[in-house]
Amino acid sequence: MTYLLLLADGFEEIEALGTADLLRRAGLDVTLCAINRGPDAGGTVVRGAHGVRVMADVSLADINPDGYDAIILPGGMTGTQNLAADDRVIELLRKADADGRCIAAICAAPAIVLQTAGVIHGRKVTGYPADPLIDRIRETYTGDEVTIDGTLITAAGPGSFKAFAAAIITAAKGDAHTAQVLGEALMA
């Protein structure tokens, strides 16, 4: 399976990089994709919410959006607002959802990006446990650390990145492989 992890300025670093690290340790093909606008459009350097600069593998303009089995969205308030404001991202999510591909979102991403894209469709979700974010998804909000509903995987926030990554790995390779990866990373 191939995974596209979207990074917009203001992304939550631990959610994006911790998740990408664990997925790659699991042998999954993860592409970090920069979503830049304005003067940085087409560039691959993205600034995280806490000032960490990351060089993504590709820019959104350079990918085949149908070439990925799953889309991953980290949180970070500014990052998720930037993702939700990008029509290309919203269309990518709508198409992935319509195609039955996996969408995984953590922290503010379910309430901000998935809600904007309209891909929640009454499915159970979780996310960062604060108003006004919860108000956007209250009808389907579980309050759990991780919620899986069909092809949709959501998680609560920064401290949930390990459980979030574990859910994605388990969906791809099963419980035993997930346990092995977490054990080798001393996270079991």
Active site amino acids: 107
Domains of the chain are: 2-184 (3.40.50.880)
Specify whether the CB–CB gap between 125 and 137 falls below 8 A.
yes
| DSSP structure string for 4-25 | EEEEETTB-HIIIIIHHHHHHH
Q: Is the pTM of this model over 0.75?
A: yes
Q: What is the pLDDT along the chain (188 residues), one digit of tens a residue?
A: 899 999 999 999 999 999 999 999 999 999 999 998 766 667 899 999 999 999 999 999 899 989 999 999 999 999 999 999 999 999 999 999 999 999 999 999 999 999 999 999 889 999 999 988 888 898 999 999 999 999 999 999 999 999 999 999 999 999 999 999 999 999 98
94-99 long-range CB contacts below 8 Å, 24 or more apart? 94/118, 94/119, 95/65, 95/66, 96/68, 96/70, 96/71, 97/121, 97/151, 99/66
**Tokens linked to 148:** 């899986």
